[in-house]
Amino acid sequence: MGWVVLGISYAVGGPLLGIGLYLVVQGSLPGWFRDWMLGPITRVTPGVVRLLGLTAIGLGASIVALGLTTFVSEFVGGALVAVALATYLIGAGLFVYSTWLSRRPGGPLAQ
């Protein structure tokens, strides 16, 4: 059962890591990205896209870390779960902040 969980976590977390890295490096959304995928984001700026990329990196890393918990000791597994939960909270905060930035006129990341 542990290998199945690890495989699922790699299948979900790995692409999120790749997408996040792409967004952070490029600073723009790919051409195939549709408007309906943006949800609450109103203005897409490079700063907002990079924050969304950081959110995807954190979410992907935490999913992979949760998948690894079945193969490590209880102490390390507990630490991985705590770090993953903290990463989820930070990712949610980054998403809310990027949404706020996209709706705010001007600002440090609004160019």
The H or E element that residue 88 is part of is helix 74-103
Can you read off the two tokens belonging to residue 103?
A: 């709706």
Spatial separation of the C-alpha atoms in residues 93 and 98, rounded to whole Å: 9
Q: pTM for this structure?
A: 0.83
Weakest-pLDDT range from 25-29, 42-46, 102-106 = 102-106
Domain range annotation of the chain: 2-30+38-103
Model pLDDT for residues 60-84, shown as the tens digit of each residue = 999 998 888 888 889 999 999 999 9
* CB burial readout 22-60, b (16+ within 10 A) else e: bbbeeeebeeeeeeeebeebeebbebbbbbbbbbbbbbb
